[in-house]
A and B are shown apart, each in its own frame.
Chain A
């Protein structure tokens, strides 16, 4: 039995904001199934009482002095954007209603 359905992949793609095609859905569902089957082996491992590792090197609370530092020039940053206006990034409409 497959671990992940085509519908689930479509749902996940929507959550991740990926407008995947039907062909991709077919391919990904099969491929992800193979990958997820291999991950099931982890269930064999006894991890009772084991603390999770989120980072290789345990560093906590790394602070720096709260001193103002120069930022990147505004124009240099805006130059990378696909659409800008009035010193800002321009975005498509956010609200559903007509402006």
Chain B
């Protein structure tokens, strides 16, 4: 018998709308699941049982009254803790924001509330979204539901693990260099980084403003697309928000699910193949089996050259820390969060330095120092300026590629979920997790990760990258790949040890 928590978000929404289940039953099932397994997985920093059930009760009353409801009304969602939620603690997994209760909602949270999705709570992450494993959360690490000795990816490991462990049917992530897609890949879930500017950044705690993009996390492409449409669209409060129609991602996911990709041209990046020594053989094998399935569905595979992709990683690690060092200057111990060392004698500057020393973890400090270096007089042209120019070349590589193909595909990340501690000693080894996801952020286009197979019993993700505002093609290809799986890969995760 299928449990409530085994159903997809689309199925749950239909069950609620058509009266087979109430939203209170559905929401309670997920809250109970959280109570049962989150002691082990630790995906949540904060659970809002009362708030979630209150929204659920409103939905049930609306159903009873015969009101028209949105496509995901009553289906609960978890939200990454980098997104501000009015009245709910929001820390970005940093000690510097411990205890802060935001006085406003992010635009995407306003839209989630307007669409009546009960909010289950806030999910764990690497501090300020800097990391690939959740090991840099200032509170605790999240475990991978597939193997609790391994990382769930990062920065959005909490959102991915919550969905993988069926503690939430849907979650919100944010992606600056791969923080939605890489956790998706290593937990066997679906994750989409939408076109930059397609989703509002208002109320996202800023890391790298020219790259940060919120997006959906789910068990399949259709569920992700439904959430994508709830949160997307122009927002006058974000000056980088694009005033254009939302790409038809739900329609594209439904089209993809029919399993027909005839006429679709997919590009394989030559330089990624050449750099394949960075990817594990098991990842390559699962990815190549995925390509064969896409060909069977009618897709044509074309090799394209994107020479500047080779430089995407160092480019990112100049641009993102530079923007972060500026964005994180706001944590000064005055307006919110922590203040340390204020004994009535120390100066403002001393208190500021002590506050930031006490409140930030090691990766955040490293990146602030790196960004300060890249922006300092004498270096700014050689580092930050140079990186911005290489960013242009990466963008041009994408634009040229999309003259030849509809979308690009690659493995999402070079390796399966690694064991805790394996990459914290050498930050550069951690950074390699985002080797294949970073180019998309540099360009601004959409990218999704869809489960494609297993390696050593752990999930592998295939990435689909599309042109700016071409989010629909990425969903179509992902849904098509899912249609080849008898059982959705996300549904084959082993039961969590120790519960």
Chain A residues within CB distance 8 Å of chain B = 4, 8-9, 12-21, 24, 27-28, 31-32, 34-36, 38-39, 41-43, 45, 47, 50-57, 59, 62, 64, 72-73, 76-77, 79-83, 89, 91-94, 96
Contact = CB atoms under 8 A, between A and B. Distances in A.
29 contacts: A12-B376, A17-B352, A17-B353, A17-B356, A18-B353, A19-B356, A19-B357, A24-B365, A27-B362, A28-B365, A31-B366, A32-B373, A34-B426, A35-B427, A36-B370, A36-B373, A38-B428, A41-B314, A47-B392, A53-B389, A53-B395, A55-B240, A59-B197, A62-B240, A77-B335, A80-B335, A81-B334, A82-B334, A92-B351
Contact of A38 (B313, B348, B387): B313
A59 B393 CA distance: 19
A81 B335 contact: yes
A38 B325 CA distance: 20
A76 B103 CA distance: 6
B398 to A, nearest CB: 11
Interface stretch (B20-28, B338-346, B412-420): B338-346
B318 interface: yes
A73 to B, nearest CB: 7
Interface string B391-431: 11101000000000000000000000000000000111001
Contacts of B468: 56-57
Nearest to B315: A42
B141 to A, nearest CB: 20
Contacts of A39: 314, 317-318, 383
A12 B468 CA distance: 37
Interface string B251-289: 000000000000000000000000000000000000000
Scoring A8, A9, A17, A76 by chain B CB atoms within 10 A of each residue's CB, the highest score goes to A17
Tell me whether chain B's interface is mostly helix, strand or loop, or mixed: helix
Given A28-B365, A34-B428, A42-B315, 6 more contacts: A16-B372, A18-B360, A52-B389, A54-B210, A55-B210, A56-B196
Given A18-B365, A56-B196, A73 B103 contact: yes
A65 B353 CA distance: 40
Nearest to A89: B334
A13 B392 contact: no
Given A79-B103, A82-B333, A89-B334, A94 B347 contact: yes
Interface of B: 100-104, 195-197, 210-211, 236, 239-240, 242, 308, 311, 313-315, 317-318, 325, 329, 332-339, 342, 344, 346-354, 356-357, 360, 362, 365-366, 368-370, 372-373, 376, 382-383, 385-393, 395, 426-428, 431, 441-444, 468
A39 B353 CA distance: 28
Contacts, number: 181
Scoring A4, A19, A93 by chain B CB atoms within 10 A of each residue's CB, the highest score goes to A19
A88 to B, nearest CB: 10
B368 A18 contact: yes
Given A50-B393, A56-B210, A80-B335, A45 B311 contact: yes
A93 B342 CA distance: 10
B317 A83 contact: no
B473 to A, nearest CB: 18
A36 B211 CA distance: 21
A27 B388 CA distance: 28
A50 B314 contact: no
B362 A24 contact: yes
B101 A79 contact: yes
